[in-house]
Chain A
């Protein structure tokens, strides 16, 4: 188990990167605390896997250093880092039995035979494969194979970190839930540092203590699920987390008022005078539909009833606004005004959040 430090790390797949756009992973300083469970969340191609492969040593970064417990391992090969990693698609050794597959990482490190036997039994129980330990791995279905890969990742107790690269993509939804719960209990039990890459926000939010959101090769925010929800630091975090994502509207902000397409609303807090591209972000959970003259005039496009609540899709001068309404609320035709709860309003300047001035 180890603390992992990324120091000025950046990576480009090109031999001579010129501009910042050439970098798959832009300059990054970050500490992964010992024993924490992190989720690395982002859309495909944002550099998540690149970062993971740099940590495990499968890839050497173009610049910067990686430290495990303050020891520089930037150039150390994978085998010296003592990392476990599970990949997106199952990797099993077809000609070996399930038992030998699970025992492989231990045997390669010269573990004692009795220990290997017990440990394999333990892991098999965890992934629910005790009955088929002596079966050859060939011909198993993808999700069973992935369980074996997960088991192989977890079999070593002394690893510095456990890395998961979208490991549940091929697993069916019911099993996904179960395996994720097991990973979490494993984390509680052994306290490994875990980094879990995913593009699925539910997976990230349920698995991790801290979620790291990446966008375009950059870490845009790291925080608890609640922080990501309430104060997204970047409009991408707003869009990406939440279902539906945050409403982002062009606004002109002066002090504690904002003008949106001619309509002035109060923000409840002062934000100074942002000069760049200014936007107002508010989550659908902090909006409500009303009749009357207050708030923004909108045209309701449709109402989707998702069971727990209703999602109202409305149009405000060409921009879509999503509003979450309680299940019991009746949406009447005269409700054509949307009002924001000031507690849920964030202001963005060039996509980054502007901290409100303390009154």
Chain B
């Protein structure tokens, strides 16, 4: 077949190009611009080179925030993924109860972030919150505004409450796509419940599970609103995650240069991790028998 050469076709991608430029490229370049300059106010900027990047890489504050961020993401992934799969395995397969489960489980996903934060902020208060009051009443010393462990526990439980449904729904969709014949064959082969999970269910939901892990990683790594509303990053800096720290730096202290350098590195970390994940995922799909 002969290909027609028509350079005018380039115009067809113009709308996309404009959209991407305004939504991603231009804002990102603004940040890049800030990250290599210094200012003394009056809108006067000076070239600073990689100075801010060096400063940030040497900053203990950033490394601490990164450490907390990694710990947070790891903990919630370690809880939400197995829990989500467990919930999906135990959900009804069809009928009224299946629909009811789906609706109830989607509810947390529909609540805006800051509302989730507010709900938990009040829920966990020792004086009027149902959770905080109950815990205090049964003699547990719980105060998320002052105690490090209580603050972390609250933030983690809140995230698990908010997002486990997403993992469960994805896993549930994966499980629903397994043909009945697999379960029947497993019965014929006298496979135990564990083996059915290990050799039928898990391999079949691996794909959606990878997507769930990726989504939850990205979202949790960028988390801002909920912990900001509940703990405000405290007590001390104990729940100050990367984005909370970034906002403090950029808007609280108005250190635009360091904050911009910080943003770029933050962005690169997420990009690299997501890329690695994506590569692993696609290789999983392509992996042949050997």
Contact = CB atoms under 8 A, between A and B. Distances in A.
Interface of A: 53, 56-58, 77-79, 83-85, 87-89, 91, 93-96, 104-105, 108-109, 132, 135-140, 149, 152-153
B185 A79 contact: no
Interface residues of B, number: 19
Nearest to A152: B189
Given A95-B199, A135-B289, A137-B289, A83 B188 contact: yes
A58 B187 contact: yes
B101 interface: no
13 contacts: A77-B187, A83-B188, A84-B188, A85-B185, A87-B181, A87-B185, A89-B179, A91-B181, A105-B190, A108-B189, A108-B191, A136-B289, A138-B289
Given A93-B199, A96-B199, A139-B288, A108 B192 contact: yes
A83 B184 CA distance: 12
Contact of B190 (A58, A79, A140): A79
Nearest to B206: A95
A85 B289 contact: no
A58 B187 CA distance: 8
Interface string B198-209: 011001000000
B93 to A, nearest CB: 15
B287 interface: yes
Given A89-B181, A94-B203, A95-B203, A78 B288 contact: no
B284 to A, nearest CB: 10
B248 interface: no
Interface string B249-287: 000000000000000000000000000000000000001
A36 B147 CA distance: 76
A87 B200 CA distance: 16
B96 interface: no
Nearest to A94: B203
Interface in B175-226: 179, 181-182, 184-185, 187-192, 195, 199-200, 203
Contacts of B188: 56, 78, 83-85, 105, 153
B290 interface: yes
Contacts of B182: 91
Contacts of A89: 179, 181
Nearest to A81: B188
Nearest to A149: B185
Contacts of A132: 289
B94 to A, nearest CB: 14
The 3 closest A-B pairs by CB, nearest first: A136-B289, A91-B185, A135-B289
A85 B179 contact: no
Nearest to B189: A105
A247 to B, nearest CB: 39
Nearest to B204: A94
A143 B256 CA distance: 63
Given A79-B187, A136-B290, A139-B288, 11 more contacts: A87-B185, A93-B203, A94-B203, A95-B203, A96-B199, A104-B189, A104-B191, A108-B189, A108-B195, A135-B290, A136-B289
Contacts of B185: 85, 87, 91, 149, 152
Contacts of B287: 138-139
B227 to A, nearest CB: 38
A140 B290 CA distance: 11
Interface string B29-64: 000000000000000000000000000000000000
Contacts of B195: 108
